[in-house]
Amino acid sequence: MGTGFQIGPVQIPWYGMFIVLGIAAAALLGYVLVKRCGLVYDRFIQTACFVGLGAMIGAKILYLAVSWDQIDFLRITDPDYVNALMGGGFVFYGGLIGGLIGLALCGKILHIPVGEYARYTIPVIPVAHAFGRMGCAFVGCCYGIPYSGWGAVTYTDSPVAPEGISLFPVQAVEAVLELAIAAVLCVAVLRAVRAGKKPRSIELYLVLYAVVRFVLEFLRYDDAERGILMGLSTSQWISVGVCVGVAVYIGRSRGSYLIH
């Protein structure tokens, strides 16, 4: 599939196109949730901008950290090499951490009750992430293990995935599961609003995504790009930490449920 497609003289990158579509879908869902939950859409957009910027920076930093031994430092003064290095490669958990930092900064700088906005609009994250994974599927990054069953994909013009090898469509599977997580979160948020209660949607999202990511990591084949320790990837260790952290938080909250 290559890195994109041509419309006249313009080259449209697959990943960039899906990111734009993901942002648009997330903004639309955010609008619906904000209106249903009685929040202010302008504040949602301001919060989203801080979170988005923090997520991009965090995702890139973690990617560089886990790919440190693959960076050719002898070419670090080559503008083309640096542009390629900075333009591709992101790790979602780094984006999640960076997004949380951006969220905190937004609250401090703009005095927005960001915790409230995060709880009621958290479904926009898996929606945007799902579109990002669709972009991965088209480009070939984050590719799956060798597999010849139903839904297998074979890349012939990918700058990342091994070519001519039948692979498991792990990116597409994750995209579908992300949309399923978003649907569950929407139900949880709207149910809490109708009941006049505050949803525990952030905790629910973190656990659901951590479980999905932990399992899907076993079906990915780009291990060297993500780091391995005791048979588990960097993302799997983070998933374990997330689940433990949420469990401790809920325990300190006197055993309250993920959804009130």
The span from the CA of 7 to the CA of 51, in Å, is 32
Amino acid residing at 103: L
Amino acid 3: pLDDT: 62
Amino acid 40: pLDDT: 93
The one-character DSSP state at 5 is E
User: CA dist 1 to 14, 80, 110, 140, Å?
Assistant: 9, 23, 43, 9
Amino acid 101: pLDDT: 93
Angle between helices 201-217 and 114-121 (to 10 degrees): 60
DSSP 210-242: HHHHHHHHTTB--GGGT-EETTEEHHHHHHHHH
Angle subtended at Cα 219 by Cα 159 and Cα 180, rounded to the nearest 5 degrees: 100
The pTM assigned to this predicted structure is 0.84
Can you read off the two tokens belonging to residue 211? 């479980």
Amino acid 86: pLDDT: 56
Mean pLDDT per 10-residue interval, the chain, length 260 residues? 67 80 93 93 93 87 72 66 58 84 93 92 94 88 90 86 91 96 96 90 95 94 66 87 92 58
